[in-house]
């Protein structure tokens, strides 16, 4: 990337293009501040025990199967706080609206924000409203930022990790150790396929709903069990991006088995039809969790006990004898899983 | 406003249209949470002594006389935290970019963010990057949210207020008392006129720079003196909107004198030429401050000692014998100053 270049859709698609842009341009803002600061490139930052994160949402369509931009905006920020080990508490709501946008649709979105905030137990405490002239913005975009405080479940979890390692104080990739099992909390790819099939003129319709949901209660549930080294939400760029992130930051290898990855039949069919790699598809109601082996059974049982975790599965483990991310395919072969250039479906969040 | 209606530019312009939209739609999200929550409609919220605020920036042009969208994005959020009595500490940076945007311009913006953050002493700790297809967003918009902690200067200030009233714990309109003097920290209208005259084809060019600047150090300086009941930044909707806000929330009258309001000659000329009310013009580097009378002299001296406050003036006072906001005009008449429908200049921030 040279500074003569221009921004492309891939620069916002959660893969290697975006990561390079962030490293080359935005990381120049890093001044090494915070308990977990910009340099960690984690789901959020931690400053004086306050977890702080932000996401802007540009999803199309704004109402889709299984959710809408309002539910997405709350869930996304709640989940980034939860994935650090924080209890999300308060959210800001910045809306930018195109002139001519129906107030009725705005009401629907705000109602969905309200319900999702209630579900997650968070509060909208501040906001901002801007309007752009017709034609200068496609409908509406929403930014939510959020703050949370250290959860007491995290204290317990970090305590349990001390039996097998010297953990950091928060859920970060540096906590990963060889032998940790990798769990996904449910089926992969639902959100991206639901978004695609909610679009008009895309040429297929899959009977799949988005998984968009706040996961803070799910995360607190497993932290209460213990042995959780890190958790991360596989949003833009999917499992492939997330596991590469873990492998790079922990300097450990990750081995996963294709046949153990839960995927809905419709999602598999749709992604084959579209020629997309399921591992690169974005999710908005899933967590990927690295768990110390002796806690895996209990963590799975906890996940299975709640609706959002009923399809949770162990899909692989952290290894020191390999580098990068390796997938054992269903037919028994092995391949490296690279960082995607970007999510194959644009504007999913 | 009925839900059959559509969003207009005025709904984002900081006046009565926007306030009604916020009250009718967004206030339904209020669940009475926080030390200062959504219901207070203040510059930000306070949760467990954490000050939290957000603003999205859609200004055009993105580079203007005296500043750019980067400097604006940092200053705006820093100032909202400072106006509550918080020390701004950490900012999030959510950028949404149009496909095709020059990376060189992005670098310039990020550099400006970096310099302004340094000037204010705040840190960018987390962010988000999204890209929209060419034609679906006009160039770039930025959201900054921020957190701050209670400043020790605020403790001192609130202590001094106790001599004359029972103050709240933060800088809020409910601290206002009859007799408090109203100070503006400098000339009014510079930002809106600088933005206007930076636009092509607008038909005039004024030699005015935007005042955009972080004011956290200015605010801490006067809190250290004491007697400051409230501070607020007169952004969209200008002085007129701000003073109406104070009057409504404090249930007190506000009396101001036109000839005491500092206005640059070029700003006066430009606003006369455009038929705009200077009181309704947005500012991005000014504070309006309500001060207990016995501290006014020292607060003014403090303001005059720093560049950002050199034109600070007392423009009026809080009164209980009048209702609403009354302006004594230069020619000696009196008129009510209503809430503007919205800022006369669109997309100034
Ligand atoms: N514009 C930016 N400025 C500063 N940091 C950024 C910016 N964009 C992204 N980052 C940082 O890069 C990392 C990756 O960001 P990303 O948005 O992919 O994380 P995420 O929110 O967990 O994922 P998603 O946005 O898909 O939900 C985060 O640590 C984030 O703080
Ligand atoms: N979309 C929204 N959702 C919830 N609250 C909102 C929303 N928009 C505005 N508010 C609230 O309304 C009040 C006024 O918002 P406004 O943006 O005018 O304040 P400000 O940031 O101080 O001014 P400016 O945006 O001009 O800098 C604030 O308390 C803000 O939290
Ligand atoms: Mg995340
Ligand atoms: Mg996120
Ligand atoms: Mg605002
Ligand atoms: Mg403000
Ligand atoms: Mg503001
Ligand atoms: Mg993000």
Tell me, yes or no, whether A347 lies in a domain: no
What Cα–Cα distance (Å) separates residue B25 from each residue in A134, A199, B7, B20?
A: 21, 28, 12, 8
Q: Look at residue B205 in the predicted model and tell me its pLDDT.
A: 79
Q: Look at residue A52 in the predicted model and tell me its pLDDT.
A: 99
Q: Look at residue B206 in the predicted model and tell me its pLDDT.
A: 83
**CA A76 to ligand 4 centroid distance, Å:** 5
* Residue B345 touches chain A, beta carbons under 8 Å: no
Q: Is B56 near ligand 2, meaning CB less than 6 Å away?
A: no
User: For residue B13, how many other CB atoms are within 10 A of its CB?
Assistant: 27
Q: Which of B27, B145, B149 to mutate to test the interface with A (most CBs of A within 10 A)?
A: B145
Tell me, yes or no, whether B300 lies in a domain: yes
Residues with CB under 6 A from ligand 1: A 14, 22, 26, 38, 41-43, 55, 76, 80, 235-236, 349; B 93, 95, 124, 126-129
* Residue A200 touches chain B, beta carbons under 8 Å: no
Q: Look at residue B1 in the predicted model and tell me its pLDDT.
A: 65
Q: Comparing C-alpha atoms, which of A258, A232, A297 is closest to residue A80?
A: A232
Tell me, yes or no, whether A308 lies in a domain: yes
Q: Is A114 near ligand 2, meaning CB less than 6 Å away?
A: no
Q: How many CA atoms lie within 13 A of B265 on its CB side?
A: 0
Q: Comparing C-alpha atoms, which of A234, A238, A233, A249 is closest to residue A175?
A: A249
Q: Comparing C-alpha atoms, which of B226, B208, B336, B172 is closest to residue B284?
A: B208
Provide the chain B residues 251-310 that lie in CB contact (below 8 A) with chain A: none
Tell me, yes or no, whether A342 lies in a domain: no
Q: How many domains does chain B have?
A: 1
B81: CB partners within 8 A, 6+ apart: B43, B44, B51, B53, B87, B88, B146, B147, B148, B216
**For chain A, what is the mean pLDDT?**
97
Which pLDDT tens digit goes with each residue over A91-125? 999 999 999 999 999 999 999 999 999 999 999 99
Q: Look at residue A206 in the predicted model and tell me its pLDDT.
A: 83
B98: CB partners within 8 A, 6+ apart: A7, B131, B132, B133, B134, B135, B136, B137, B138, B139, B140
A260: CB partners within 8 A, 6+ apart: A313, A314, A315, A316
Tell me, yes or no, whether B346 lies in a domain: no
Parent domain of A249: 9-336
Residues in chain B within 8 Å Cβ distance of A131: 7-13
Q: Is B125 near ligand 2, meaning CB less than 6 Å away?
A: no
CB contact under 8 A, A98 and B7: yes
CB contact under 8 A, B149 and A48: yes
Percent of chain A with pLDDT over 90: 97
Average pLDDT over residues A46-66: 98
Any idea what the Cα angle at residue B79 is, between residues B76 and B85, rounded to 5°?
Answer: 155
Region class of A120: left (phi > 0), else alpha (psi between -120 and 50), else beta: alpha
CATH number at residue B290: 3.90.650.10
Task: Tell me if A231 sits within 8 A of A288, measured CB to CB.
Answer: yes
Tell me, yes or no, whether A290 lies in a domain: yes
The closest ligand to the CA of A38 turns out to be 1
Residues in chain B within 8 Å Cβ distance of A4: 103-104
Q: Look at residue A3 in the predicted model and tell me its pLDDT.
A: 63
Tell me, yes or no, whether A75 lies in a domain: yes
User: For residue A34, how many other CB atoms are within 10 A of its CB?
Assistant: 21
Residues in chain A within 8 Å Cβ distance of B347: 132-133
Task: Tell whether the model's pLDDT for residue A182 goes beyond 70.
Answer: yes
Task: Tell me if A192 sits within 8 A of A345, measured CB to CB.
Answer: yes
Atom of ligand 2 nearest to the CA of B18: 18
Among A12, A124, A127, the residue with its CB nearest the CB of B97 is: A12
Average pLDDT over residues A278-285: 98
Region class of B6: left (phi > 0), else alpha (psi between -120 and 50), else beta: beta
Which pLDDT tens digit goes with each residue over A193-228? 999 999 987 767 789 999 999 999 999 999 999 999
Low-confidence ranges of chain B (pLDDT < 50): none
Task: Tell me if A289 sits within 8 A of A282, measured CB to CB.
Answer: no
* Residue A124 touches chain B, beta carbons under 8 Å: yes
Confidence band, pLDDT 50/70/90 cuts, at residue A28:
very high
Q: How far is A254 from chain B (nearest CA, A)?
A: 26
In the block, which residue shows the tokens 């300097």? A251
* Residue B27 touches chain A, beta carbons under 8 Å: no
Tell me, yes or no, whether A61 lies in a domain: yes
User: For residue B265, how many other CB atoms are within 10 A of its CB?
Assistant: 11
CB contact under 8 A, A130 and B12: yes
Q: Which residues of B327-337 are buried (b: 16+ CB within 10 A; e: fewer)?
A: bbeeeeeeeeb
The closest ligand to the CA of B123 turns out to be 1
């Amino acid at each position: 990337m040279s500074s003569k270049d221009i921004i492309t859709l891939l620069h916002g698609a959660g893969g290697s293009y975006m990561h390079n842009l962030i490293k080359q341009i935005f990381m120049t803002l890093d001044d090494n501040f915070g308990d977990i600061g910009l340099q960690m490139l984690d789901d959020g930052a931690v400053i004086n025990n306050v977890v702080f994160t932000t996401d802007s949402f540009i999803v199309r369509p704004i109402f889709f199967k299984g959710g809408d931009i309002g539910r997405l905006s709350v869930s996304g920020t709640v989940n980034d706080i939860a994935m650090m080990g924080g209890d999300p508490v308060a959210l800001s709501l910045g809306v930018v609206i195109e002139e001519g946008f129906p107030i009725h649709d705005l009401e629907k979105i705000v109602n969905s924000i309200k319900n999702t905030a209630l579900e997650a137990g968070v509060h909208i405490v501040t906001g901002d409203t801007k309007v752009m002239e017709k034609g200068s913005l496609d409908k509406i975009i929403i930014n939510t930022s959020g703050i949370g405080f250290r959860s007491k479940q995290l204290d317990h979890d970090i305590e349990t990790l001390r039996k097998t390692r010297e953990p950091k104080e928060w859920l970060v990739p540096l906590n990963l150790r060889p032998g940790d099992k990798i769990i996904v909390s449910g089926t992969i790819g639902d959100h991206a396929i639901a978004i695609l099939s909610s679009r008009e003129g895309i040429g297929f319709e899959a009977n799949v709903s988005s998984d968009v949901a706040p996961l803070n209660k799910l995360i607190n549930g497993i932290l209460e069990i213990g042995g959780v080294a890190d958790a991360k939400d596989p949003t833009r760029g999917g499992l492939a991006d997330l596991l590469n992130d873990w492998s790079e930051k922990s300097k450990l290898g990750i081995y996963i088995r294709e046949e153990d990855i839960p995927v809905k039949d419709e999602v598999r069919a749709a992604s084959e039809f579209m020629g997309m790699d399921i591992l690169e598809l974005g999710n908005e109601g899933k967590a990927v969790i690295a768990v110390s082996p002796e806690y895996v059974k209990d963590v799975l049982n906890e996940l299975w006990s709640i609706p959002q975790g009923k399809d949770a599965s162990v899909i692989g483990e952290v290894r020191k004898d390999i580098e990068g991310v390796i997938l054992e395919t269903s037919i028994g072969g092995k391949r490296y899983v690279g960082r995607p250039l970007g999510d194959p479906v644009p504007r999913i969040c």
